[in-house]
Amino acid sequence: MVKHIAKIGSRRNKRFNSRKSARKIPRGVIYVQASFNNTIVTVTDVRGRVVSWASAGTCGFKGAKRGAPFAAQTIAGNAIHNVGMQRAEVMIKGPGIGRDAALRAIRRSGIQLSFVRDATPMPHNGCRPPKKRRV
């Protein structure tokens, strides 16, 4: 049986041996996507490159608890924990109940917010709704 010898400079060895260190950025953008079932918080730099992110599932919440405000508060704290950001812009998207809790957690973290924008997409009477349900 022939044993496979890995190349020294191969991609697999680099990924396996070394993890990227957390990037420290002075300014950035925090995206909060709050649906009824889940909340996702993504932290990026000003160019849009993702620095860290967290969601309710990665933080250990299961089922209906993923959409709860407490889950959103925990997620926001985890996403911005080791980023080292001083100033940020916040973009909130979605109708979920976690949006206010996530914003409160971001404010409490000590990051100075330059603005908070609601980026929820609003339809201009585009799609036709499904037919009425008959029981």
Q: pLDDT tens digits, residue range 52-84?
A: 999 999 999 999 899 999 999 999 999 998 888
* Predicted local distance difference test score (pLDDT) of residue 55: 94
CATH number, domain 45-116: 3.30.420.80
**Banded pLDDT at 123 (limits 50, 70, 90):** confident
* Predicted local distance difference test score (pLDDT) of residue 12: 53
Cβ(52)–Cβ(88) below 8 Å = no
Angle separating helix axes 69-79 and 98-108, nearest 10 degrees: 40
Amino acid residing at 6? A
3-state secondary structure of 103: helix
* Predicted local distance difference test score (pLDDT) of residue 83: 85
Comparing 72 with 12, the larger pLDDT belongs to 72
